[in-house]
Amino acid sequence: MPARISLQVPDKSLLDAYQAALRGGWSPNTTRNVAPEQLAAIAADPDAFLAETRGGPGRIKLPDGREVDRIPGPTRWIFAEDRPERPFIGSINLRWQEKDGRPILALPEHVLGHVGYTILPAFEGHGYATAALAAMLGVAREAGLPEITITCDATNHASRRIIEKNGGRLIETFVAPLYGPDQRLRFLVSTAP
């Protein structure tokens, strides 16, 4: 039986579950642990945190310490709908740039792909990330993106399978110096149903 998930717009009614995951050691960022920063931001101003998390403008810190403008785009919190307690299990986001009011495939060098996702370790390997990515492809389609790019570390076989199960086609192996010397894989994924 396939995993059943829902993608929820971050809001105050879901914030306790999100904070519990952060306190438990999970981070929504796969390149560095942002849990302490996010917990501090929530404590300081939960409404501002939620507004930024929902896709509003903001700043992000890169691995080299520089801060750059965040590319606006929706973040969704993932909940397992096939479990009685409907637990929070991760997050997924979509980001894109526009030219002349239309979404484009190109991304700045610090953004490796259009979609990023992370699942709490206790829920990995149950098909939730595959289901979440499939759902986010629908969001990308609604935004006007006919295709998107997704990347993963070359050694992350689980993430590669998730991308390929959603129609990802490997287009290149590359190194992103900003994120270290490790090889990464870039996939192109159609958003067509």
- CA distances 76 to 38, 52, 106, 186, Å, are 16, 12, 22, 22
Question: Can you give the pTM of this predicted structure?
Answer: 0.91
Q: Note whether residue 166 is domain-resident.
A: no
Q: In this predicted model, which residue has the larger pLDDT, 51 or 92?
A: 92
Tell me the per-residue pLDDT of 83-97, one tens digit each, with 9 for 90 and over: 999 999 999 999 999
Parent domain of 83: 5-145
Looking up residue 101, the CATH number of its domain turns out to be: 3.40.630
| Distance separating alpha carbons of residues 26 and 88, to the nearest angstrom | 11
Q: Note whether residue 56 is domain-resident.
A: yes
All residues at 6 or more sequence positions from 186 whose CB lies less than 8 Å from its CB, including other chains: 112, 113, 149, 150, 151, 170, 171, 172, 173, 174
Nearest by Cα to 53 from 23, 89, 11, 20: 11
Q: Note whether residue 167 is domain-resident.
A: no
The number of folded domains in the chain is 1
The pLDDT of residue 167? 98
Q: Note whether residue 54 is domain-resident.
A: yes
